[in-house]
Amino acid sequence: MADLYVSAMPGAGFSAVGDTWVGPMGATMGWSKGDQAVQVAAAIGVPTTVSITVRAPAGAPNPSPKPQPTAPGQAGQMRVINSFTLLQGSDTVPSVFSSYHLEVTTDSPSWSDKLVRTVSKIPADVEGVNVHFTMRDTVAGKTTTTQAYKMGDKSYEVVKGKVVADETGMSTLGYITWPLDVVVALGIGSFRTASDGTATIDGRPVEVYRITGTVADDVSGMFASFGFPVTVVDGTVWVDAATGALLKADVGYTAELKNSDQKVRVTTKGSFTVVISKAGGTTVSLP
């Protein structure tokens, strides 16, 4: 999307002015030609919005905006970026599915005086803002298991077969935070998105995309400035054709792990898989 303006505006005689920011989730940029000025602001979300403000020369008629086609690669990038938000919903917009079953496996590297790998397996039923999940984390051969409910803004943990209130919310913290790696990897990977045909998952037609982006493809420098360890992404994403929601992801990535002085200590691999099923066919309630 931003590439359209970056390539088209100079060709129309405009020069870039002010601060420009281009990232996977949006862009802002300014252009001027004589006493004519154009400000573009775009936000990727649900829905994607583009705002264009034009100040025309004195006495000039109001301009008539001309719609511009979206390149296939850009369309695919937007489908990948939006897919996870459409699945999970946001604070203001619910998931496109009233309910669904989620299966997640993550293999996440981290650095704490040495390389630490955490393998997490999460089966979950999601209905609106309510979630019932089990999280099994394996670190250095030791596995810990948490079963919990997140009912709106309240947390409950299953302890010895009984559901007890968790006022601290610690029992659901792992479920709340696991999407971060997915969001970052999909954002970086989407910089190079290519269609890989169509398929069917759980009876639903899907669009298949290959993502092979790198942090170097992010011309805004946002991911690098935030210090995310992911540098290279290689994976496949399956997007529900009807709703645009993520139905499956199988993604590997390269991570540069740093210590407290921000020096890279090791370059290693990470991965995650996400599989969605039973869209509209699950319920969540306290026993």
* b/e 220-240 (16+ beta carbons within 10 angstroms → b): bebbeeeebbbbbbbbebbbb
Instruction: Give me the domains of the chain, ranges plus CATH numbers.
Output: 2-69 (no CATH), 76-277 (2.50.20)
What average pLDDT score do residues 116-141 get? 96
Tell me the backbone φ, ψ of residue 225, rounded to 5 degrees. -70, -30
181, two tokens:
């790696």
Which of 1-5, 154-158, 207-211 shows the lowest per-residue confidence on average (mean pLDDT)?
A: 1-5
What integer pLDDT is reported at residue 15 of this predicted model? 73
pTM score, two decimals? 0.75
What integer pLDDT is reported at residue 113 of this predicted model? 87
Per DSSP, the three-state class of 195 is: strand
96, two tokens:
């496109």
Nearest-5° angle of CA 118, CA 124, CA 129?
Answer: 115
- Say yes or no to pLDDT of 111 above 80: yes
Instruction: Name the more confident of 154 and 225.
Output: 154
- In DSSP notation, 5-68 reads HHHHHHHTT-EEEEEEEEETTEEEEEEEETTEEEEEEEE-SSS-EEEEEEEPPTTPPPP-----
List all residues 6 or more positions away from 152 whose beta carbon is below 8 Å from its beta carbon. 129, 130
Structure confidence at residue 48 as a pLDDT band (50, 70, 90): very low
131, two tokens:
């979630």
Select, from the ranges 42-46, 142-146, 258-262, the one with the highest average predicted confidence (pLDDT).
Answer: 142-146
